[in-house]
Chains A and B, each alone.
Chain A
Amino acid sequence: DAKTTQPPSMDCAEGRAANLPCNHSTISGNEYVYWYRQIHSQGPQYIIHGLKNNETNEMASLIITEDRKSSTLILPHATLRDTAVYYCIVRPRYNQGGKLIFGQGTELSVKP
């Protein structure tokens, strides 16, 4: 599975957009980009995933560059409850057992 690189930490003001970057320069054609987050003392939670098109759901938007070597997760109006560690993961579409390889993630702190 392709390796990802994320900044270890970021701050964001409450109500502003949080833009979390992820580099995955060795991603291959059959690999999807997934984002999960982990709020303190809880298990990780799925946010969104994409292949090459931008995606949006009720939680966030995912922007993937045209060459697919990087992506950005956008939380449009961050709240204090969005404070968490955010993980960017790439994995093949057909992956026995649906394995995920978690990196270190980005610790997002949303401040009032």
Chain B
Amino acid sequence: DVKVTQSSRYLVKRTGEKVFLECVQDMDHENMFWYRQDPGLGLRLIYFSYDVKMKEKGDIPEGYSVSREKKERFSLILESASTNQTSMYLCASSFTGTSSYNEQFFGPGTRLTVL
């Protein structure tokens, strides 16, 4: 079974702190994604990566950065956390290629609260 794990299930940080959210997948997937999910807004894509050291902005990249130094690991960084970044953060991964069957596998999520 594909496994996508996230470093924390719940996290509480203070405004201005630097926050690292880690995601690891064990299926040698090329693509990895970070989303945030908020009530009434659904899932929104923050950043994605289709290869090591490659990154692309999603729909809401402001206030975030990412790092992909190894294929299995994709980190989301909040340089200076703010209260409006309180949210559920979801990581996902998928194979690339020309197959239409590029389903994304999601981790359990990290619920981040910024005080």
Q: Which residues of A contact B (CB under 8 A)?
A: 32, 34, 36, 41-46, 49, 51, 87, 93-105
Contacts and interface: CB of A to CB of B under 8 A. Distances in A.
23 contacts: A32-B100, A42-B108, A43-B92, A43-B109, A44-B106, A45-B106, A46-B104, A49-B100, A49-B101, A49-B103, A51-B100, A97-B49, A97-B50, A98-B31, A98-B50, A98-B94, A98-B102, A98-B104, A99-B48, A99-B58, A100-B45, A102-B42, A104-B42
B88 to A, nearest CB: 9
Q: Is the interface of B mostly helix, strand, loop or mixed?
A: strand
Contacts of A97: 31, 33, 48-50, 56, 96
A100 B104 contact: yes
Interface of B: 4, 31, 33, 35, 42-45, 48-50, 56, 58, 90, 92, 94-96, 98, 100-109
B71 to A, nearest CB: 14
A100 B94 CA distance: 11
Nearest to B102: A98
B27 to A, nearest CB: 13
A98 B102 CA distance: 6
A49 B45 CA distance: 20
Nearest to A31: B100
Nearest to A96: B50
Given A42-B108, A98-B94, A102-B42, A93 B100 contact: yes
